[in-house]
Chains A and B, each alone.
Chain A
Amino acid sequence: MILDGKCPSGQLPLKWDKHRQELKLVNPSNKRKYKIIVVGTGLAGASAAATLGELGYQVEAFCYQDSGRRAHSIAAQGGINAAKNYPNDGDNIYRLFYDTIKGGDFRAREANVYRLAAVSNQIIDQCVAQGVPFARDYAGYLENRSFGGAQVSRTFYARGQTGQQLLLGAYSALSRQIHAGSVKLYPRTEMLDLVIVNGEAKGITVRDLVSGEIRSHAADAVCLCTGGYSNVFYLSTNAMGSNTTAIYRAYKKGAYFANPCFTQIHPTCIPVTGDHQSKLTLMSESLRNDGRVWAPKKQGDTRHPSEIPEDERDYYLERKYPSFGNLAPRDISSRAAKEVCDEGRGVGPGNRGVYLDFGDAIKRFSKEKIQERYGNLFDMYKKITDEDAYEQPMRIYPAPHYTMGGLWVDYNLQSNIPGLFVLGEANFSDHGANRLGASALMQGLADGYFIIPYTIADYLARTKPGTASPEHSEFKKSKEDTENLTRRMLSINGRKTVNEFHRELGRIMWEHAGMARSEEGLKKALELIPQLKAEFSQNVKVTGTGTELNQELEKAGRVADFLEFAELFVLDAMQRKESCGGHFRTEYQMPDGEAKRDDENFRYVAAWEFRGEGKGPELHKEPLEFENVHLAVRSYK
């Protein structure tokens, strides 16, 4: 089937305005009759729930953490983009749009990306009004910095904790609505199923993580804002609890999953130290503003970095991409680091690492200035590695960080299932095959504050409120299925722990579907994953019961879904016989090793439909039309 993203017609800059004019509205006094479920309280979820509550809808919000303030958006460090052009350095909405679409290697919709760029400025205004303490200069104006893939300074930041401050802003707006009674928040509650009544999304089934109770919630529409699935790699920069369960179970209920293989491997993370490692820590990309990336020219050079003279260092990003240098986009920087290590020039334990050096910046500015800019990151680095990055270069290596793929949505952020909306990282919409730094926060908040309030109204205005009830047979069935699944998990009583399976899955995915993918490797993965999945269903050990706080049971459910989802991921990587953005197929590269995109055959969104257990999924395509930008070879040289 050929999918339609339902982008409005007309000139690019006018599409959103024109579309808003055409969207139906819900009368203010009718709004309170509609109930909306919002799953997840990160930037997208909290901003959506708060804004919908302010408008007068009844909102029920859910998160698995103990508080709405802890979602993983909190960990974003570097910043948020906006086309304010405060520094007067040539920025505008079109440029932000163009950088984002080019950064995504021309695999996103023009109309969506333009809208994102257009609302970016409002986001900054909103956050400042909430009391987000962005960095300022001595005159009291907002400061900006540069990020990868851009030649202008358009990134707003709050020290190295921008995500935290933006999330606390959205959380405060959410808290205000909870106090007002328009939003009811269910913390420590995990969504385990989507309920569909007569083809429309009308509710969810959840597990209360404290009491273990499984119950259903009915509503008039459902918004999933549940983040990405980087933890399919086991080791990633995501929080331990980040998972694919909500969107994967929606997929199993008929929602299409788009571009699952588009994952971002972030170039600047602290390298792995050993098998005990449970997660990886990101060092913000903003460090590349002042840090220079290098590796020894010689293979197997084990000298201390300070003993390696200048002319024996290879500043490979500056060498290969002179116009962007250390600020080359993430996919390109990550791949370059891998190449260097593959050549045997890596540093640190296992030789999987390169240097990020602040020596020159400290000389040019001062230690104090660098401390002011990145102090908290240097401290964190010290805690983890016991090394002082003011004295010697940081060691970094790429790690899974963000997933561009997600549930398929149209221009209204509605999936192919009417009434199911997907926001933030959980959808696939704006970043194509690679996301630029400081764009995730922008997208999460754009979706929640400024897009969903308009588009969801159009759906609600066409539906009668309050038609769904947990007494409906579909709700009862969903509850039963979920209870059975939980019971089955507890009854296997095998010999391997959930973590062991997860780690094993991660190894398979990182090796065969990580930074470089080949037909052969992907085939291997397709052999290994089903075996592991089969073993899981026979041999996993989950202790405890279902009627209490049981963290092993929570993990088991998430890993079970990752095991199934991994297959879909690999299938998608296999069908995309081109290299683009974060998806690098070794068979498709230029003579100089750069990604070779194939616009003729692969200029589409791959959206997968679940067709039942034991049957392969069906691929639907949404062709991507580019009317405003010229499809160029993405060059940062």
Chain B
Amino acid sequence: MNLALFVWRQKSPADSGGLQQYEARDISPDMSFLEMLDVVNEDLIKKGIEPIAFDHDCREGICGMCSQVINGTAHGPQEKTTVCQLHMRNFKDGDTIYIEPWRAKAFPVIKDLVVDRGALDRIIQSGGYVSVSTGGVPDANAILIPKADSDRAMDAAECIGCGACVAACPNGSAMLFVSAKVAHLALLPQGCVEAARRVCVMTETMMKEGFGNCSNHYECQAACPKGIKVSFIAKLNREFIKSLAKPSEAL
């Protein structure tokens, strides 16, 4: 099939950038979306034009590196699918496709479709962990965990940190991302000890990093390639309220 692409090109963070039109020719429906872009890029290189820069690595939907807004939707039209796992059979001959980077105040564009998501790492660094050092921990079966809690923690822990939730949110909020980590750890006995402190520092860092607030649009859930549910945001809010009851020196 042949497609018309409009791709966001931006030389550098300072550049204002704009959409450029390209042709994608002889695309097989078995190709992934990124393989389609590979074809376009090979063609550009041969013409001496700089190829489109985009982030990607594992190409199997788990590393969270790929990040493109396709026709206005983060990660494109297929539900629960990263760009790298989106296949061209979801498009048809003659389609026009708009490809843009994640757009959020907290994610400055580095080049073309590549953005800086360091803010997500900084949120985790502020407290998204159990403060345990290597060694001296109890036997793995010493603390039993109800299967339902463990499963629910895993549902949250599946987050790949791609940032689609932020890109999809009209407020550029990182609530789904933060709530997934807060919930994952708060649901486990190992993580609950620090739950109150964690929820406070993580939300505080989130605000400082320039992410917006949640006003219940649920766009994040729709865009999430791992199907992380907004119910975790409710859990985040509960954890936050619980933390208010603690004296501040306990945090």
A543 near B150 with CB under 8 A, answer: no
Contact A86/B39 with A175-B128, A497-B45 known, Cβ cut-off 8 Å: no
Q: Are A161 and B51 in contact (CB under 8 A)?
A: no
* B236 smallest CB distance to A (angstroms): 16
- The minimal Cβ–Cβ distance linking A628 to chain B, given in whole angstroms, is 27
Distance to closest chain B CB from A103 (angstroms) = 24
* Contact (Cβ within 8 A) B63 A543: no
Contact of B62 among A75, A137, A240 (CB under 8 A): A75
Docked Cα-Cα span, A70 to B60, in Å, equals 12
Which B-chain residue is minimally distant from A70 (CB atoms)? B63
**Nearest CB in chain B: distance from A435 CB, A:** 20
Query: B32's contact among A86, A278, A500, by CB below 8 Å, is which?
Result: A278
A537 contacts partner chain B, Cβ-Cβ < 8 Å? no
Question: Cα distance A544–B55 when bound, in Å?
Answer: 17
Cβ of B103 < 8 Å from any Cβ of A? no
Residues of B within 8 A of A187 (CB): 118, 121
B216 at the binding interface (Cβ < 8 Å): no
Q: Mark B53-71, 1 if CB is under 8 A from A, else 0.
A: 1011111111111000000
Instruction: Write out, one digit per residue, whether chain B residues 1-45 have a CB within 8 A of any chain A CB (1) or not (0).
Output: 000000000011000000000000000101110110011001011
Assembled-state Cα–Cα distance A552/B140 (Å): 46
Task: Point out the residues of chain A lying under 8 angstroms from B44, CB to CB.
Answer: 543
User: Interface segment, A106-114, A124-132, A246-254, A612-620?
Assistant: A124-132
**Stretch of A4-12, A379-387, A527-535 lying at the B interface:** A379-387
Residue in A126, A277, A380 whose CB lies within 8 Å of B35:
A277
Give the residue of A72, A176, A499 whose beta carbon is less than 8 angstroms from that of B57. A72
Query: Would you call A346 an interface residue if the criterion is a C-beta within 8 Å of the partner chain's C-beta atoms?
Result: no
Hey, which chain A residues are within 8 Å of B132, CB to CB? Answer: 126, 129-130, 173
Please tell me if A541 contacts chain B, counting CB pairs below 8 Å. Answer: yes
Question: A138 an interface residue at 8 Å Cβ cutoff?
Answer: yes
A548 to B12, alpha carbons, bound, how many Å?
A: 8
Asked if A497 and B42 sit within 8 Å, CB to CB, the answer is yes
Q: A86-B141, A168-B157, A173-B129 are in contact. Are A383 and B85 (CB under 8 A)?
A: yes
Inter-subunit contact A273/B30 (CB<8 Å): yes
Residues of chain A lying within 8 A (CB to CB) of residue B61? 380, 383
Interface pair B65/A131, CB less than 8 Å apart:
no
Task: List the A side residues contacting B28 at CB < 8 Å.
Answer: 273-274, 276
> Would you call A145 an interface residue if the criterion is a C-beta within 8 Å of the partner chain's C-beta atoms?
no
Q: Is the CB of A172 within 8 A of B128?
A: yes
A135 to chain B, nearest CB (A): 8
Give every chain B residue within 8 A of A499 (Cβ-Cβ).
38, 42
- Looking at the assembled complex, report how far the CB atom of B94 sits from the nearest CB atom of chain A, in whole angstroms: 20
| Contact between B45 and A66, CB atoms less than 8 A apart | no
CB neighbours of A497 from chain B (8 A): 42, 45-46
- Residues 62-76 of A, flagged 1 when their CB comes within 8 A of B and 0 if not, give 000111111110110
Q: Are A129 and B137 in contact (CB under 8 A)?
A: yes
State whether the Cβ of A93 lies closer than 8 Å to any Cβ in chain B: no
For the complex, count residues of A whose C-beta is within 8 A of B.
Answer: 80
Complex Cα distance A135/B44, Å? 47
A276 and B39 in contact, given A50-B134, A67-B121, A125-B140 (Cβ under 8 angstroms)? yes
Alpha-carbon separation in the docked complex, A252 to B135 (Å): 36
Contacts A69-B161, A159-B154, A549-B114; is A380 near B125 (CB within 8 Å)?
no
Q: Is B120 located at the chain interface by the 8 A CB criterion? A: yes
Confirm or deny: B105 has a beta carbon within 8 angstroms of a beta carbon on chain A.
no
In the complex, residue of chain B having the shortest beta-carbon distance to the beta carbon of A273: B30
- Chain B residues contacting A282 (CB-CB under 8 Å) are 60
* B125 in complex: contacting residue of A127, A179, A450, A552, CB < 8 Å: A179
A382 smallest CB distance to B (angstroms): 10
Question: Contact between A241 and B81 (Cβ–Cβ < 8 Å)?
Answer: no
Does any Cβ of A come within 8 Å of B249's Cβ? no
Nearest B residue to A172, CB-CB: B129
Cα A86 to Cα B141 in complex, Å, equals 9
- In-complex Cβ contact of A67 among B45, B117, B127, B185 (8 A): B117
Q: Is B241 an interface residue (CB 8 A)?
A: no
Q: Does B214 contact A (CB under 8 A)?
A: no
Provide the A229-248 mask, 1 if CB < 8 A to any CB of B, else 0: 00000000001110000000
Q: Per a CB cutoff under 8 Å, which of B38, B50, B125, B140 touches A124?
A: B140
Contact, CB under 8 Å: A70 / B64: yes
Question: Which residue in B59, B85, B144 is a CB contact (below 8 Å) of A141?
Answer: B144
Of A47, A84, A139, A210, the most chain B CB neighbours within 10 A belong to: A210
Q: Are B51 and A131 in contact (CB under 8 A)?
A: no
The reply to whether A54 and B128 form a contact with Cβ atoms under 8 Å apart is no
The smallest beta-carbon distance between B11 and chain A, in angstroms, is 8
Taking a contact as CB atoms under 8 Å apart, the answer to whether B32 and A66 are in contact is no
Contact with B along A39-52 (1 / 0, CB 8 A): 00000000100110
Q: In chain B between 108 and 155, which residues have their CB closer than 8 angstroms to a CB of chain A?
A: 110-111, 114, 116-118, 120-121, 124-135, 137-141, 143-147, 150-151, 153-154
Residues in B neighbouring A386, C-beta threshold 8 A: 87, 89
Q: Does A279 contact B (CB under 8 A)?
A: yes
Contact of A175 with B129 in the complex, beta carbons under 8 Å: yes
A133 contacts B by Cβ under 8 Å? yes
Q: Does A33 count as interface, using CB distance less than 8 angstroms?
A: no
**Apart from A51-B134, A239-B63, A499-B38: 20 A-B pairs, beta carbons within 8 A:** A54-B134, A67-B64, A67-B117, A69-B121, A129-B137, A131-B184, A131-B188, A133-B184, A141-B144, A165-B157, A172-B129, A179-B125, A210-B110, A239-B57, A276-B30, A380-B60, A541-B48, A543-B51, A549-B110, A549-B114
Q: Report which B residues bind A (CB closer than 8 A).
A: 11-12, 28, 30-32, 34-35, 38-39, 42, 44-46, 48-51, 53, 55-65, 78, 80-81, 85-87, 89, 110-111, 114, 116-118, 120-121, 124-135, 137-141, 143-147, 150-151, 153-154, 157-158, 160-161, 184-185, 188, 190-191
- Spell out A's residues near B (CB within 8 Å): 47, 50-51, 54, 65-72, 74-75, 84, 86, 122, 124-131, 133-142, 158-159, 161, 164-165, 168, 171-173, 175-176, 178-179, 187, 210, 239-241, 273-274, 276-279, 281-282, 379-380, 383-384, 386, 449-450, 453, 495, 497, 499-500, 541, 543-544, 548-549, 551-552
4 nearest A-B residue pairs (beta carbon): A140-B144, A172-B129, A129-B137, A133-B154
